[in-house]
Structure 1
Amino acid sequence: MKTRIVFFIFILLASFYTFNHFKFKKSNHNIWDLVSSKSSIILELDDPFIQYNKMLKSSIIEKSFTEIKNDFDAFNLFLNNNIESFLNSNKIIISYFKLSDSKLEPIYTSYKGALDIDFIFKKIKESGVGIKERKFNNQIIYESIIKDKNYTFSIIDNIIILSKNSLLIEDAIRTKANSNLQFKKNESDLFSQVKIRKDIGNLYINHPDIFDLLNIDSKNNLISFIQKIIPKKSFFDMKLEGQMLRLNGFSSFSSESFNKDKSRHDSIIDILPYNTISYININSTNEKNFFKFNKKNIIEKFSKNYKLEIGRAIIENSKSNKYDEIVILKRKPSSDFQKTDSLLYDGIFKLDDQELNEIINNTDKQDNREKFFIKIEDYILISEQISSLIEIEYNIKKNKSWTKKLNISKFKNQMNESHNISVVLDYSRFTNNYNSKINLVSFQMSLIDNKLYTSLNMSNKDNVTEEFSNENIVKEFIAKNNLIIKPKIIFSHLDNTPEVITQDEKNNIYHLSKEFNLIWSDSIERINSEIYSIDYYKNNKKQILFSSKNKIYSYDRKGNPLTGFPIKNPSESNIEHLNVIDYDKSKRYRIITSHDNGEIYFLDKSGRKLDGWSPMKMEDQLVQEPLHVRVRGKDYIIILLKNGTIYLKNRKGSDYPGFPIKTNNDFTNKIRINISNSPKNSVIELLSDNGTLYKINLNGKIVLQRDQFRPEKYSKFKMIEDPSGKSNLIFSYDKSYIYVYDKRLSFDNINDLKFQYYDLNKNTKYFIITDQRTKKTIFLDKDLSYKLKSVDNENKISLIDYNKSINIYKSINNIISMIEIKK
């Protein structure tokens, strides 16, 4: 059983078979005497009928009760609509036993009260079903098969027990006779700690059994670590609040003792990557406790350099669709790590500190694998996968973090603000159980008087459906003339809010604020490149840099041209492509231009030509701007020509071994790059116009060459990439149709279409097509089904996931506007 609140689906079954025709009275015997210490989950309910109706009113479990509600209504009809009088003023305990790795089996225990057993027997016989009886340890066990299901019950004194598994009935009889087998005696500390007001009922959980049921092989290291740090058993008081199930109580401790401590605020959760699946935070005010919580021996000097806080997260690597673990630590401001941080490239450092390796390792085995990290303010984010760190850094620059998601933000606000241990799970993704109705789960613990105060929250997935509203233009700016380029989003250095750069047909450039107020405007040549954000003066203030066919421009936020700009075209041929490279994140930028005649120039940031590239002459035009990657400290410049030849060069312009490679195919599709830990595993992906897919590593080896399925004889192929580089979409087209897999969509003007692809998260991906003739943009999924309402638009759009909404920036005629789609 792998769904949320699994125990709820049987809550009323005991009522159906044990409370029938008479009002109940509690006896002096305690039903806890029959509850076994082997129970995995125990649910204790007073006034079951009242609690049942409360649960039905709560949307968090309403859908789980559909079938049981039907049974309840039928049984109520069987009792002449008089079931309420038989369920009031009683108590029921439902105990679940783990009988296999995938199943929990319930047994129901309650006071018999004035229940007339003869009446029950009579009603069952009237249904044409027989009853067998046998003795076990001098107690009578009754068994009956109803609709191919076995039901077993017994009456001990004036307590009745019921289960579909006779072994559980026998276990309850043994437990009653031997107090050493009883849950309450073995876990007396949980009962003594009950100081919380009851609401729906009480819940007792044996955590190891629940983790075993999850059976998540892909994340077994994390599961093992969570099991190590979480106590074995917990007591909770249950409350339902709309979409939230709240459990609060205490957890049992092992024999080890802890120093006095305080719960602390989680300073890491707000910088977690956007693609986080699970997260563990451990923090303390006491060094001894901190290492005990982490199940590690004290590491000397750790607390001198780092805060006593560690975050561990499982993230989904969009490049590989695999799960990677990252560890986050917070450095103390007084620490100086510049001498020990070993820079590899582009802000990626190699972790050389072996003491950190010890606390990062979440297993009991020695871990000597290489690890890398990036710096975000006072934090370091550590991973074995460089590609994960690159993606994290990109998303942070785009102001995308886990808690910026609407459902995560809402859930975080419901959690405790401070703790010593906190676990947060995106349940369906973490368990790979996408049919589950659970959305998010948190488990938080705080050390109070050597006891663990524990809270567990669950949210319903129904609260997170991404249903979008109709078009809602919330911001608008009217330019002097018709607009001609895609709105470019940049993030302000003042407050990191999105601002817009655009241009009209008379070549006026506009810089707009977040509120679409004009910051500055200038009349220049037509922009023909990407618009890059740079920090030219290394003062954490942003400028923009771009090109026209004759010049390279750069402006600060006030609209002032930077010193030395515009830079004149270094070639007699028009600038066709532009790129900006920052080799080692030193902000000593290199400007790359490629030209109609195949020339490539490298310039320093003041415009001076660099040796080896002044120019480099290629035999054909380039498909796109030359690209740069750094792997293991080496710089690679990737150049793809339209004739299908691919070059890989170093900073001086020399070819790497194995290059150039001639594919003898025509190319108009841009390159996609998958960076890994080594040149061998780092791959360049190419798709020719006729549908041949190549994967070439940086050692010059073609590791894959495969022809795509061609739906029609003259089909051509396109590969478009999400702006973040996270993923791509391959599709084909002919004169009349666009094809994705076995789906197709008809158009009568393919040549007028502009294509884009945005991958916001696992469940939100948009294939965007803009028809410049009809001035319409449509939003599709990979099945070519419509995802959003079409919008009036004639240039490519920009789209960002920002501040609990999806913002679409579009332009038509001389109007640029922003559509806000609430999640």
Structure 2
Amino acid sequence: MKRFIIFIIILVIGGGAFVAYKTYFERGNISLWTLVPDNALAVYESTSPMNAWAAFTSSNIGKGLQSIAAFKRPGQMLSKLDTILGGNEQTATLFNDKTFLASLHSVGSQSLDFLLLVDLPTLDSRGKMDDILAYFSEKNGYTISNRTYQGYTISELRSQKTKDLFTFIYYKNFFIGSFTPFLVEDAVRNIETAGLGFFDKNIGLLTLSRLQNDQGNLYINTDKLDRLGDTFLDEKLLNLKAISTLGSSSFLDVKVTEPQLLMNGFTLIPQDYSGYFSGFINNPAQSLKMEEVVSNRTAVYFNLTFESAERWNTQMLPYWQTNEPELVDLRSTTLKDQDIDIASFFESIGGHIGVSLQESSLGHDPDKVVYMEMEDLPESLQQFKELSERINKSQGDTLYYEEYADFTIGQLEIDEFPYQLFGEPFSGFSSLYYTGYRNYLIGAASVQILKTVIDDITNENTWGKSVQINSFLDNTLREANFSVFVHTPRAWNLWQQNLDDAWKQQFTDASSTLQSIDLMAIQWSFIEDKFYTSIMLQQTEKSAQKGAQKPLLADNAVTFAQPLISKPFVVRNHNDKTLETLVQDSTQMIYLLSANQEVLWLDSIKGKIISPVFQIDYYKNGKLQYLFSTPKYIYAIDRTGEYLPGFPVEFKGKTEIAYFNLVDYDKSKNYRYFFADTRGDLYISDKDGKVLEGWNPKEIKHPLASSPLHIRVRGQDFLVALQSNGIMRVFNRRAQPVAGFPVDFKAPVNNPVFAEAGSTNANSKLTTITDDGSIIQINLAGKVLQREQLYRPSAQSKFKLVPEASGNGYIFTRQDANRIAIVDQAGKVLFEKDYMSSGIASSQFYDFGGGRKLFIVNDPVQAFSYLYDEKGNLVNFRPAETMNEVAIVFYESQGLYKIYKNYENEFSILTLKK
């Protein structure tokens, strides 16, 4: 059996070589391939182009792409051709079973075009092509003219209406044409200089085996890919120089298998190869396994695997010396100054390294996170700590260490350390905050980014826990040396920011279509003397019509004896992870409802809930309780309805609680309650409700504008309180004012504060907006960074800062009588809407990532909630009937929004399909 398989392989390879020889050499060195210019970026080949087009356009991905002009036009043209030829798929008869090539070329700094080449070996085929050209020559509005170029007659078909010019030539039995004349001229020159075309320079591709019954073949001039990238993108996004060194040429079989578009083949490298993939030669790939630490916020993830990190480093040096000499110089200086044994360091690295670009909602550059698998994580963390101690001692700085959610965070003050080790794309780390998890060392450029990753790991918000991502990864190349994974919706803003202006509008117009291709993977793995190459695009959901309204489908509703007065508080069952709901009625009764909307328990409390319902792990055993406040009491109740010992805690201040917040300084579950009364006095208590020294109370003599909050920067805690008279106060944990505070904005404020923790006090930001529309941004040193007045149509205009529901950004709203405008962080109006009533409306903002944003306007007079997308399209047929704010949960694997709402005495959950 083994000998038989070897025989078959030899037969296939030998047969392929024989066919290639017959095709390429027996016709006097002139073939269709001979005519393809060597500057082609890529060439598509098919012997059944019509069948391939039909298979593509019938797929979900193909159907979606039909909304893009570049893909719609070929279908329209082919349909027109079929009509001209008499219908009954005559176009398919003309082109199928003929060699058809379409080569892609750069025809300008931001322009691309195709050269089309068809082998018409029979007079019948040539006659049908003549019929097509005669149709256009006779049709009003078209003219055909001829000119001579290097002794050959070139014809030009011009539309008098659109001025489009199609240039073509017949040579022997070959038809060559393009909308860019000089591409045809390039092909003509190849007639006289046989042996200098695209395929002559990539002759090795001829010997590669090909699939049958697929949708064609794709040949790529890999060493010219930088030109393709340069056409679309700013080099800040991709290292275009590195892309051009990935190999000399690639061959890929194209296959459409619903819901995926697959391209598999090989990338060839020269014998003296010293490009970006040098480190993987004879360095076998390992199975992908970092998905357990890669956050679901990831937009793009680069993953490198190898048998030996030390061998990879050694083999990469020639490439870095030639292409990134600044890396070599920087590394050399660092190794000498810090006395680092680089060989020992690479010996400690396991088979995986990676870097992710996180989706950013705040308009700045994407956050990067680096991952390193370590052979002995405790030993590696100790080496990092000792190195940090040496650096800090030499600089006279204090060693930074912080405990956070059972993780220890350290800091390595070496500029661009990951880049010095691994090159591109590991740049962007001016400092490295790091921690360890299992056998991974994880690093980020700021402590806040690292804490976000830690939160995602702790909350199982990772690729390894995502049904969608796992299903996708199972269909990719599991053992690859180099992989690029793209979550298209999350990468969209990053892509748009780096697109050349000439292409930005075209991609914007097709955004919903392109984002429906949710996931992409490009992978390379070294096999013998070449790299196996795989590209996969996957559409996991059918895209909806742009701006289309979708019905809200009601789940089971629960009817109560009394009207509901609170918003629905969505909480998680710690036993089975299902979502439950806590609501309150007008008699102050509270109810816990199961995921199936069954009442689990009810209890009468003293007063209306005035705070969020926080879930706490009071006993640090993984079981969750509910914490909230009424004006006179602090409640802590377990999920069975039993009060925690000592609760409820009565507030014994002179007035009532106005705002109540939960603080967990270092995620250690040593909770603090930070609250303020109606006079503005501030209190901080321990988790049992006992008020702490210095905070009993901290008098500031004016009511607050919003709930007080906590922000931590490099292990230092800041307690922030904004008063409605526009005075911002910031205290340390001992209730002492922080240097630079208080700051008087000299304008009334009745809005929350949005806090962004940076790596220092100077780049940590507090943002709010005054009642009259002045955006104010201040740092934790008390310096005002920005004060910008938003457009104010009238003196009655009212402005609000609306935080994103999970703290992931914010928006502004402006209300003028019955008109409300939604404004982004930069002050740009996203959309405006008019309503029946002029009552003051409340707004909500949800950002589930990947462009899934919902803006909710709650009209208290009409008792409606309106749900909009970012374009201001109403996403449901009619507004939802509500008496309070809603709560929304998004299920990514199902593409469903669940909208929790109360109306009069009824609670219900609505389902909205994405």
Q: TM-score, normalised by structure 1?
A: 0.85
CA RMSD of aligned residues (A): 3.9
Matches within 5 A, 1:499-514: 499-514=580-595
Is 1:639–2:711 an aligned residue pair?
no
Match of 1:819 in 2: 910
* Secondary structure of the corresponding residue to residue 686 of structure 1: strand
Aligned equivalents of 2:56, 2:302: Cα separation in 1: 30
**Which of residues 287, 299, 308 in structure 2 aligns to 1:277?**
299
Q: Which of residues 779, 800, 812 in structure 1 aligns to 2:889?
A: 800
Aligned-partner Cα distance in 1 for 2:79–2:687: 77
Equivalent residue, structure 2, for 1:322: 365
1:696 aligns with 2:778: yes
Deviations 1:39-95 (A, max 9, x none): 211111113444444444445445245433443344445555554543343212222
Distance 2:781 2:903 in 1: 46
Paired residues for 1:574-613 under 5 Å: 574-613=656-695
Structure 1 residues 328 and 156: alpha-carbon distance in aligned structure 2, compared to 1, 3 A threshold = same
Structure 1, unaligned stretches of length 5 or more? 1-25
Partner of 1:455: 534
- SS where residue 213 of structure 1 aligns? helix
- Checking the alignment, whether the CA contact within 8 Å between 1:225 and 1:362 is kept in structure 2 is no
Deviation at 1:458, TM superposition (A): 2.8
Partner of residue 247, structure 1:
263
Query: Aligned in 2, Cα 1:739/1:187: closer, same or farther, shift over 3 Å?
Result: closer
- Indicate if the aligned counterparts of 1:489 and 1:498 stay in contact, CA closer than 8 A: yes
Aligned pair in 2 of structure 1 residues 396, 817: CA closer, same or farther (>3 Å)? farther
Q: Does 1:770 align with 2:858?
A: yes
Query: Cα deviations across residues 220-276 of structure 1 (Å, max 9, x unaligned)?
Result: 354448627843421111122345322111111354575666654433346544443
Equivalent residues of 2:839, 2:860 under 8 A apart: no
Residues of 2 paired with 1:260 and 1:407: CA distance? 33
* Contact persistence 2:366–2:494 (CA under 8 A): no
| Map of 1:743 onto structure 2 | 832
Match of 2:763 among 657, 666, 681: 681
Sequence identity, in percent? Answer: 24
Distance 1:191 1:353, change over 3 A: farther
Retained in 1: the 8 A contact 2:819–2:832?
A: no
Distance 2:233 2:183 in 1: 30
Q: Which residue of 1 aligns with 2:247?
A: 231
Query: CA 1:665 to 1:185, structure 2 compared with 1: closer, same or farther past 3 Å?
Result: closer
Q: Name the residue aligned to 1:349.
A: 409
| Contact 1:385/1:676 (<8 A) preserved | yes
Q: 2:508 aligns with which of 434, 438, 445?
A: 434
More strand by share: 1
Task: Say whether residues 1:537 and 2:627 are aligned partners.
Answer: no
Quote the residue 2:323 is aligned against. Answer: none
Alignment counterpart, residue 665 of structure 1, candidates 738, 742, 747: 747
How far apart, in 2, do the equivalents of 1:69 and 1:145 lie?
A: 20
Partners of 2:564 and 2:583 within 8 A in 1: yes
Give the match for residue 553 of structure 2: 472
Report what 1:757 is aligned to: 845
- The 1:553/1:787 distance shift into structure 2, 3 A limit, reads same
Q: Does 1:553 align with 2:635?
A: yes
Task: Give the CA deviation at 1:679.
Answer: 1.6
2:443 match: 382
In the alignment, does 2:154 pair up with 1:142?
Answer: yes
* C-alpha spacing 1:653/1:225, structure 2 compared with 1 (3 Å): farther
Q: Deviations over 1:657-716 (max 9, x none)?
A: 221122333222111223222222222222222333322221112222333322233232
CA contact (8 A) 1:601 1:613 kept: yes
Residue 493 of structure 1 pairs with residue 494 of structure 2 = no
State the AA in 2 paired with 1:770: N
Q: SS state of the match for residue 74, structure 2? A: helix
Q: Deviations over 1:340-382 (max 9, x none)?
A: 5653475683432869635665449998721224666665543
Question: By how many angstroms is 1:585 displaced?
Answer: 2.6
- CA distance in structure 2 between the aligned counterparts of 1:567 and 1:229, rounded to whole angstroms: 67
* Alignment CA distance shift 1:43-1:792 (3 Å): same
3-state SS, counterpart of residue 227 of structure 2: helix
Cα–Cα, structure 1 residues 54 and 618, in superposed 2: closer, same or farther, change >3 Å?
A: closer
Matched, 1:720 2:799: no
Q: Once the 2 structures are TM-superposed, how far is the Cα of residue 726 of structure 1 from its aligned partner?
A: 2.1
Mean CA deviation greater in 810-819 or 126-135: 126-135
| 1:203 corresponds to | 218
Distance 1:582 1:509 in 2: 26
Q: Cα distance 1:745–1:403, how it changes in 2: closer, same or farther (>3 A)? A: farther
User: Under a length normalisation based on structure 2, what TM-score does the superposition of the two structures give?
Assistant: 0.77
Aligned equivalents of 2:549 and 2:439: distance in 1? Answer: 37
Judge conservation of contact 1:573–1:595 (CA < 8 Å) in 2: yes
Bigger share in helix: 2
Residue 49 to residue 593, structure 1, CA distance change in 2 (3 Å):
closer
Letter in 1 for 2:603: D
Is the Cα contact below 8 Å between 2:225 and 2:244 reproduced in 1?
A: no
Structure 2 gaps, min length 5: 1-25, 321-327, 329-340, 386-399, 497-506, 823-828
Tell me if 1:311 matches 2:354.
Answer: yes
For the 8 Å contact 1:546–1:552, the answer to whether it is kept is: yes
Relative to 1, partners in 2 of residues 1:795 and 1:196: Cα closer, same or farther, differing over 3 Å? same
Question: Cα gap change, 1:198/1:205 in structure 2, threshold over 3 Å: closer, same or farther?
Answer: farther
Q: Given residue 499 of structure 1, which amino acid in structure 2 is its aligned partner?
A: E
User: What is the distance in 2 between the residues matched to 1:322 and 1:305?
Assistant: 31
* d(CA) in 2 for partners of 1:550, 1:85: 83
| 8 Å Cα contact 2:401-2:411 kept in structure 1 | no
CA contact (8 A) 2:302 2:354 kept: yes
Aligned equivalents of 2:109, 2:269: Cα separation in 1 = 25
Structure 2 vs 1, CA of residues 45 and 222 (structure 1 numbering), >3 Å: closer, same or farther? Answer: same
Report the secondary structure of 1:726's partner residue.
coil
Matched, 1:44 2:45: yes
CA change 1:366–1:548 in 2 (3 A) is: closer
- The 3 A distance-change label for structure 1 pair 492 and 639 is same
Query: Structure 2: how far apart are the matches of 1:689 and 1:517?
Result: 43
Amino acid at match of 1:822: K
Q: What is the deviation of 1:573? A: 2.9
What amino acid is the match of 1:241? T
Decide which moves more: 314-323 or 208-217. Answer: 208-217
1:188-228 C-alpha deviation (Å, 9 max, x unpaired): 43332325334121110123534433336556354448627
Task: State how many pairs are aligned.
Answer: 794
Quote how far apart the aligned CAs of 1:750 are.
1.0
Question: Bigger shift: 234-243 or 645-654?
Answer: 234-243
Cα distance in 1 for partners of 2:537, 2:845 equals: 34
Structure-1 residue corresponding to 2:289: 267
Report the residue type matching 1:68 in the other structure: P
Listed one character per residue, the Cα deviations across residues 727-751 of structure 1 (whole Å, up to 9, x for unaligned) are 2232233554434458342343615
Matched, 1:787 2:875: yes
Name which of structure 1's ranges 424-433 and 86-95 shifts more when overlaid on structure 2.
424-433
2:632 & 2:844 partners in 1: Cα distance? Answer: 27
1:41-190 aligned at under 5 Å gives the runs 41-58=42-59, 60-61=61-62, 63=66, 64-80=70-86, 83-115=91-123, 120=130, 123=134, 129-135=144-150, 140-144=152-156, 146-147=158-159, 153=168, 158-165=173-180, 167-169=182-184, 171-172=186-187, 175=190, 181-190=196-205
Q: Give the Å deviation of 1:639.
A: 0.9
